[in-house]
Structure 1
């Protein structure tokens, strides 16, 4: 009891206060931060420390599993554990992004043209996989892991050429068939320069040079930006994660990313849409 603002001596009483809910609320805020910063494994560890809110614990565990596999480019496992109903129930404001993500995962898990998803989705599969890698690179850049990010951009630039050669010309750059090149009217002078063997594999630069020989717009893009592309490829080749001992910088990532995004948009007009559909949600 109080008189004015002063507690009356002898009227105090002790009471128990359950702090578990407060503890869990603080823990969940930390967990959200970890998710938004792509720390899926660390977040899963904290999820196990939630004490009182069992429902939140289960849905957070599923969420971290799904996006851990998505981030690890294990799209099959990501789709398997992606519980969209539970995610939408827990975070209704993120319903649209969850729907876009599961659409992308379904397409990336289309194994053949006769699958239940149909040939249209199958034909888009590699474009969505490219978009997923581009977002993966962006997430590594957000974490200041520029060597990781540049390695993913290198793979993206390589994949762009591989997709175009395969879809437009029926050419597999991992196993070049000289007869297929002739069918695409590649000139004999160029063919004579190729070291013919039982198995001919082309790397990134050779793929773009071949596209130039085919008068493809991606080949033209390569020729127009040849010096810059050769320069940015050095960023990756000199990286400690590739063949060298250097570390990539934010500036080098930005330059590399600019070239790759331009090439990706030449590959498909809807590339920005594919990138948007493979972005991860942000928990508020």
Structure 2
């Protein structure tokens, strides 16, 4: 229920000023904005203001050029109301809209134009009407009716829209919608919407590889969201995934092996949520390289950006020095192919697995990647290229899909 003593009122005025006077005298706002037509504006100064039993701090009016034109009424309100509220220093949660007077068109327009900026609505009804109860309210029998802004119900559909965007990998867009909803729903709904926005921001940071920032935000969301999971299976499922994700981010810090898991998952989101196959394949190329670099470091203490001569088998040492030594920095740096070749020469299982499928599968796929717009060409990557490369990487690196971090699916 809205407060019956709002700070500001936008009220429509029709041919009968009495209900408007009743409404204002009961609500006693500090600021009044009258929505009038050319035919009713005179009654504002002659019949309404003189009959108020209080003195408003300020009043103004919005005059519609056509009381029967929905578009004209709507446009006039949306054009004029923001500047009036700004002049008075009125926030959205301090405005009540009263659609008692005016034409039916004016009542519809004043409601449509303010559904995103008012805290609620008011209307003068009555306990007795003329014409056996179907006419106008009898003088002295007026009754104030107050209604919350229907944004609490409208927000349900907006929450669905935000959830769809989140589930499509558009985390920043989902956050923006949650932010918009939060500013309009009543105070009871605000905490949940606010935490959904914050969570969306956290996953947006993670999606940009800003893992530490993402972890801090998601960790701060965990316990708050958990309080909403009691009796709500969908939120409970969200909490389960959120806890798993936070655990993954905790383990990711300082664990280079998990970085390629995160990168594969990111590539899958680009492809399977956004249909961005060029972006996905670019990430998968980096995955192939990262897996080799990690194996060199973890198994042989070989830093791929600074390989020592003695770490290279004699059979390929001179060739590697000639091809891969950066004379300016005086160190050997290895890219993807050279890293796997070194692993093969070290008789490493990963290197052997890579070359088992390289000529038959990987080489052709990498040629397609190299001709893509995000590499060295102007061609687009097809879905089947992404799928083949993903499956090959999972196979030769012995990575299981179920071990990859999975972002939650929102169902709120």
Give yes or no for TM over 0.5: yes
1:102 correspondence with 2:246 = yes
Q: Which residue in the other structure is 1:260 paired with? A: 393
Q: State which of 49, 69, 74 in structure 1 corresponds to 2:180.
A: 49
Quote the offset at 1:15 in angstroms: 6.1
Quote the offset at 1:190 in angstroms: 1.1
Q: Which residue in the other structure is 1:207 paired with? A: 339
Q: Distance in 2 between matches of 1:61 and 1:94?
A: 14
Q: Which residue in the other structure is 1:240 paired with? A: 373
Q: Which runs of 5+ in 2 are unaligned?
A: 1-131, 138-143, 229-234
Cα deviation, 1:178-205, whole Å, max 9, x if unaligned, reads 1223xxxx2x221121215521111111
Quote the offset at 1:36 in angstroms: 0.8
Change (3 A) 1:236 1:193: same
Q: Which residue in the other structure is 1:282 paired with? A: 409
1:137 correspondence with 2:279 = no
Q: Which residue in the other structure is 2:224 paired with? A: 86
Work out whether residues 127 and 274 of structure 1, in 8 Å CA contact, stay in contact via their aligned partners in 2.
no
Q: Which runs of 5+ in 1 are unaligned?
A: 1-7, 111-124
Quote the offset at 1:76 in angstroms: 0.7
Q: Which residue in the other structure is 2:349 paired with? A: 217
Work out whether residues 137 and 149 of structure 1, in 8 Å CA contact, stay in contact via their aligned partners in 2.
yes
Q: Which residue in the other structure is 1:10 paired with? A: 134
Q: Secondary structure at the match of 1:49?
A: helix
Query: Which deviates the most, 46-55 or 134-143?
Result: 46-55
Q: Distance in 2 between matches of 1:199 and 1:147?
A: 32
Q: Which residue in the other structure is 2:212 paired with? A: 76
Quote the offset at 1:94 in angstroms: 2.4
> Which has the larger strand fraction?
2
Query: Which deviates the most, 146-155 or 55-64?
Result: 55-64
- Structure of greater Rg: 2
1:126 correspondence with 2:252 = no
Quote the offset at 1:81 in angstroms: 1.0
The TM-score with structure 2 as length reference comes to: 0.58
Q: State which of 195, 202, 206 in structure 2 corresponds to 1:59.
A: 195
Quote the offset at 1:128 in angstroms: 1.8
Query: Which deviates the most, 78-87 or 90-99?
Result: 90-99
Work out whether residues 179 and 194 of structure 2, in 8 Å CA contact, stay in contact via their aligned partners in 1.
no
Q: Distance in 2 between matches of 1:154 and 1:44?
A: 30
> Which has the larger helix fraction?
1
The TM-score with structure 1 as length reference comes to: 0.83
Q: Secondary structure at the match of 1:225?
A: helix
Q: Which residue in the other structure is 2:47 paired with? A: none
Structure with the larger RCO, 1 or 2 (CA within 8 Å, 6+ apart)? 1
Q: Distance in 2 between matches of 1:89 and 1:234?
A: 51
1:29 correspondence with 2:29 = no
RMSD: 2.0
Change (3 A) 1:11 1:261: farther
Work out whether residues 44 and 61 of structure 1, in 8 Å CA contact, stay in contact via their aligned partners in 2.
yes
Q: Distance in 2 between matches of 1:81 and 1:251?
A: 36
Work out whether residues 150 and 236 of structure 1, in 8 Å CA contact, stay in contact via their aligned partners in 2.
yes
Report how many aligned residue pairs link the two structures.
252
Quote the offset at 1:93 in angstroms: 2.2
Work out whether residues 88 and 98 of structure 1, in 8 Å CA contact, stay in contact via their aligned partners in 2.
no
Work out whether residues 175 and 198 of structure 2, in 8 Å CA contact, stay in contact via their aligned partners in 1.
no
1:189 correspondence with 2:315 = yes
Quote the offset at 1:131 in angstroms: 0.9
